[in-house]
Structure 1
């Protein structure tokens, strides 16, 4: 299969401006993402950015990058524009978060394997919830699955609600899963997703994938035990530096 990995990377960030260029142990965050993704079963890895500084930086270390429109409403739209720029047909497009410098190649490959099934439209990752803090954090969306691993619903609240048990005991009685924001799509489906209107569930939870479910698309999942470190704040940068030094 011909698979393309696209990494959306915006310069602007409310909590950490210039985030893709932040230095993490001698390499920029975006370089670390590119290097990790390049170890997966991808034919090309391309950074999709809205800023000349990021574009030029990626080119200096031998990466591939394209300049995209600065006002896309989501990373999904930026990924589609970048894919159109490339002009190379692909069997699968992977949307790799530009603020996940330690994304594992095995996680990307796990998504790609789901496309051996011709019925797979969209794929994403889930990970078991291990602590009460994870379970209750609205920053770590939870997901419930159907019998064949397809996502039924995503929420910032713990789902399902175990009415017969006190909340502090939920993890003892149910295997909760949280969502890891790595996506893969068939190109035709990716194009269709960019044309959908926001849905009430999406607006309520602020989770874009609920738009896709609302409009009838299926999202298949692969499970990972591997942890990643997303970078959103200066505190996250310190956590990442500690991880590198461990």
Structure 2
């Protein structure tokens, strides 16, 4: 459980419609729906005072409530998860909000704990949000545009995110490590509210990566390295992999 004075909650943004796999969050994952598995995994970490699913879907809302969980129905349509969460937390008395992906039911307690620890010594509130990265070694993985790459400075603050392999390896002897961005975020509430108010700029629009907006407006993103690789359920094949892992 959180031992600092910060009030920390987890939010799980959940859309029913998904372009590649519609209704994926309501698919059966060994006796429970994907979204229910994700919700229970977040609660079971013991890291949060409260956990909520925030959704535009009556089906998902009712699934969580029926199973004794906490859910919030979005009042408006939202382009991204950050906007959906910002609407939900606007009138809540919270300090840190952790965004858990609804289609990633395998949650690593240690990674989330490391993410939240970033804020413990940050008394001057220089860190606006924190996120995870993991090293990539295979060329196919590095060049895949579905894998968002992140580059950082020497203190592990994000410099840029891209679907393109950055940095470009002009000097092949430089032995650069490529890092994949894992889309789990811990936000200060104010950074989240600022994001919600600020319009999208050209870099975010070009890459279709929402966290670029924070960088374009001068927010600081602390990256935390992890070796944990969950499984995001984007296809029917991913769901089968998850079923095997749960077995």
State whether TM-score is above 0.5: yes
1:144 and 1:153 in contact (8 A); partners too:
yes
Match of 1:112 in 2: 116
Matches within 5 A, 1:1-246: 1-38=6-43, 39-84=45-90, 87-116=91-120, 117=122, 118-165=125-172, 173-245=175-247
Match of 2:3 in 1: none
Give the unaligned 5+ runs of structure 2. Answer: 1-5
TM-score (normalizing by structure 1): 0.92
C-alpha separation in 1, matches of 2:36 and 2:109: 15
C-alpha separation in 2, matches of 1:242 and 1:215: 42
C-alpha separation in 1, matches of 2:8 and 2:244: 33
1:103 and 1:228 in contact (8 A); partners too:
yes
TM-score (normalizing by structure 2): 0.92
- When structure 1 is superposed on structure 2, of 104-113 and 146-155 the one drifting more is 104-113
Report how many residues are paired: 238
- When structure 1 is superposed on structure 2, of 136-145 and 100-109 the one drifting more is 100-109
1:124 and 1:222 in contact (8 A); partners too:
yes
Displacement of 1:136: 1.1
1:37 and 1:108 in contact (8 A); partners too:
no
C-alpha separation in 2, matches of 1:173 and 1:59: 50
Displacement of 1:40: 4.0
Over aligned residues, Cα RMSD in angstroms? 1.5
1:8 and 1:78 in contact (8 A); partners too:
yes
